[in-house]
Amino acid sequence: MGAGEIHYCTVCRQLVKRPFRPGPNGRPGARCPRCRGLERHRFFALLLDLIGPQLTHVETVLDIAPTPQSISCLSALEPSRYLRLDLGLDNRLVDALGDITRLPVRDACVDLLVCYHVLEHVPDDHAAIAELARVLSPGGLALVQVPIRFGTTTDEDPSAPEAERVVRFGQADHVRYYGDDFEDRLARHGLAFHRILPADLLGPALCDYLKVEHAEPVWVVRRGPAPVEPVAFPGLISLHDAMLTQLANRTRERDRARRRVEGQRPPRPLQVRIADRVRASVRARRS
Ligand SMILES: [Zn+2]
């Protein structure tokens, strides 16, 4: 991000003038200096906005491996029940400790489920995906993201030593790198989905302005068999409006400040002021 560049963070819902910081693995300009959110969190916030009209009757939200950013976005939906769940291996904020392959949740009761960057950690991801299918309510919706390389098949080996996992799967605690068959795995458990690429939805310019990765997909998942309809757009309008209002306000502030500066004449140097006074007194004596 160049000096003076301004971006809009969809998690903060603010214009951000300070430079974005490097993300994991030193990825430049990834982390918002205000909320510390990454590209994926900003697109997540945006997606919630987009599917907002479908979320008006959300009773139960299940957030697996919650982040401060997901908590902020999902809390804003004010669901009746919001369950944050994780294994408890790190100090993230959770309500319950639990394993995604045995979710401590009744069948068909989750209206919105978030499963971001979890499945690549789970040795038995089939059991995990089966659990997602079990707990989703009939109209429920899951947002799922995994690291994926299209054009390949999934490379996985839960027994690989750590050093090898870093090389093959990108991180010591990952057990696979997904490929094209990821979607078959969803379908095998009766899940229907719609894959969303940020660049398809927003276009590259808005991706850059919002600092989201162009090609990092998210799967909007439901219980099948009917395919998930493409995401509706009304929420984007409110986001655009908020952004544009802020931009307009800022432009007005800048213009006002410019006018103030232009209205002030710079103070004249002391010698000039003394000379003026001398001339004025000479004129007064002559008249
Ligand atoms: Zn932010």
Per-residue tokens: 213? 């990765």
C-alpha span between 204 and 123 (Å, rounded): 35
Cα 37 to ligand 1 centroid, rounded to whole Å: 6
Cα 271 to ligand 1 centroid, rounded to whole Å: 52
- For the cut 80, the answer to whether the pLDDT of residue 256 exceeds it is yes
Cα 32 to ligand 1 centroid, rounded to whole Å: 5
Q: How far apart are the first and last CA of the chain?
A: 66
Which residues have C-beta under 5 Å from ligand 1, the single-atom ion?
9, 11-12, 32, 34-35, 37
Compute the average pLDDT of residues 148-153: 97
The pLDDT tens digits of the residues spanning 16-34 come to 989 999 998 899 999 999 9
C-alpha span between 193 and 86 (Å, rounded): 24
pLDDT number for residue 241: 67
pLDDT number for residue 3: 45
Per-residue tokens: 287? 């008249």
Cα 67 to ligand 1 centroid, rounded to whole Å: 13
Cα 227 to ligand 1 centroid, rounded to whole Å: 33
**C-beta neighbour count of 28 within 10 angstroms:** 11
The pLDDT tens digits of the residues spanning 177-233 come to 999 999 999 999 999 999 999 988 887 778 888 999 999 999 999 998 776 676 656
Cα 71 to ligand 1 centroid, rounded to whole Å: 13
pLDDT number for residue 224: 81
C-alpha span between 144 and 249 (Å, rounded): 36
Check: CB of residue 16 under 8 Å from CB of residue 9. yes
Which class is 7-229 in CATH?
alpha beta
pLDDT number for residue 266: 66
Task: Tell me the average pLDDT of the chain.
Answer: 89
Cα 54 to ligand 1 centroid, rounded to whole Å: 24
Cα 121 to ligand 1 centroid, rounded to whole Å: 26
Cα 218 to ligand 1 centroid, rounded to whole Å: 20
C-alpha span between 126 and 190 (Å, rounded): 12
Cα 11 to ligand 1 centroid, rounded to whole Å: 5
Which residues, 6+ apart, have CB-to-CB distance to 242 below 8 Å?
Answer: 13
DSSP state of 79: -
Cα 10 to ligand 1 centroid, rounded to whole Å: 7
pLDDT number for residue 102: 97
Cα 19 to ligand 1 centroid, rounded to whole Å: 11
pLDDT number for residue 95: 94
- For the cut 60, the answer to whether the pLDDT of residue 168 exceeds it is yes
Spell out the domain ranges in the chain. 7-229, 241-286
Compute the average pLDDT of residues 254-265: 82
